[in-house]
Amino acid sequence: MTKKEEKKSIIEICPIRNVIARFGNKWALLVIYILNENGSIRFNQLARQIPDISTKVLSNTLHILEADGLVKRTVFPEVPIRVEYELTETGRSLVPIIISLTEWAQNNMKSIMAHRKKLENSANKSN
């Protein structure tokens, strides 16, 4: 077994790395949060609520969340075709964790920013 294969297998069997890597990107938590706020929503409505995300990235994010069972995609046989997205039960079970993480970030943001600035100033002085 090569080292690359070993690393891949370790990631695959580690639940934290395997699962969080899928929804822990820049956009997925925000998409989950917005879906929770809106219930069922169309792609373009979702895109309007996140104006700085490209349609390609939003589409890919929704696809990943759907593949993991966090988002349900429903296609309505209408002309034109209507597609809506909503959280599954598993997706909804993640929302309280996202809310807790958001509250933690809000409560600790000043301290975190101060530490970042302190480290940056320290690095600048040593250069």
- pLDDT for 88-106, tens place per residue? 999 999 999 989 988 999 9
In this structure, is residue 3 part of a structural domain? no
Indicate the number of domains in the chain: 1
**Angstrom distances, CA of residue 121 to CA of 24, 45, 112, 114:** 29, 42, 14, 10
Q: Please report whether residue 76 resides in a domain.
A: yes
Q: Structural domain of residue 65, as residue ranges?
A: 15-125
Residue 9 covered by a domain: no
Task: Report long-range pairs for 40-43 (Cβ below 8 Å, ≥24 apart).
Answer: 40/74, 40/84, 40/85, 40/86, 41/84, 41/85, 41/86, 42/82, 42/83, 42/84, 42/85, 43/83, 43/85
**Among 80, 45, 79, 81, which Cα is nearest to 62's?**
45
Q: Mind listing the pLDDT tens digit for each residue in 42-83?
A: 999 999 999 999 999 999 999 999 999 999 999 999 998 999
Assigned domain for 50 exists: yes
The answer to whether position 109 is within a domain reads yes
